[in-house]
Amino acid sequence: MTDRRAELGTDRRAELEAGLVAVRRRVVAACEQAGRDVAGVTTVVVTKTFPASDVALLASLGVRDVGESKDQEASVKALELAGLGLRWHFVGRLQTNKARSVAAYAHLVHSLDRRRLVAALSRGAVERRDAGGPPALRCLVQVSLDAEPSRGGAAPDDVPALADATSDADALELTGVMAIAPQGVEPARAFARLAEVAERLRRDHPGADVVSAGMSGDLEAAVLAGATHLRVGSAVLGSRPPLE
């Protein structure tokens, strides 16, 4: 029985390694095309819906940045894998009542998209700091690039005020912007728009230079548009069960 399990484990490790190699090749090729240094692009492997054992295998393959979209799942994994030196990125829609929990383990929150979250995240970040944790919780303002609000994100016109509120909040560090390319819009166009929003943001907040854009299907367009962080799930881990 243990042999069978070990065998499965080995297969999964090889599968994940192949996924990582394939994504790495795509990122390198896109950087070459864009004339960018690969070191300027961080790939966050989005592990939502996959077991903690997969995340542990990824860590053993050199992955340091992992992304999750639900606090319920992320908080359990982060606790279980606390010894592995992983940096947890929260990329999903964030409910106000989960902000405190997320602040306890997140390295970077990608999905700050409304005023109420600023206060909630700040409270959590202050608690973490006062408990001896890092001085600040890094946050990206999520920008909506279409009129469809269900995927989250602040309207581009609302970004400056939300960014100011974030940077003024106790124990929060405004780090940049994030977006998901809307359905039915050419990713290159969406990411060009995000780049404009990011540039505008840097006028007021020069240190806020992170641009999180690009997933398995559109990472090349994101690299070409200047993304510093890619959020890649299925291209590394395989397809997720539907409804996520």
Ligand X SMILES: *Cc1c(COP(=O)(O)O)cnc(C)c1O
- For the chain, the first-to-last Cα distance in angstroms comes to 32
H helix or E strand, kind and range, residue 230: strand 229-232
Whole-angstrom CA distances from 243 to 48, 127, 131, 157, 239 are 12, 34, 37, 31, 11
Residue 195 interacting with ligand X (CB under 6 A): no
Residue 19 interacting with ligand X (CB under 6 A): no
- The residues in 73-92 that bind ligand X, with binding defined as CB under 6 A, are 91-92
Residue 180 interacting with ligand X (CB under 6 A): yes
> Interacting stretch for ligand X, rule CB under 6 A, among 71-79, 121-129, 190-198, 229-237?
229-237
Residue 210 interacting with ligand X (CB under 6 A): no
CB of 235 to ligand X, least distance (A): 6
Residue 234 interacting with ligand X (CB under 6 A): yes
H helix or E strand, kind and range, residue 220: helix 219-224
Say if residues 179 and 218 touch (Cβ distance below 8 Å).
no
> Interacting stretch for ligand X, rule CB under 6 A, among 31-39, 73-81, 160-168, 213-221?
213-221
Which residue number has the CB closest to ligand X?
Answer: 233
Distance CA 25, CA 17 (A): 12
Q: Applying CB under 6 A, which residues contact ligand X?
A: 46, 48, 69, 91-92, 180, 215-217, 231-235
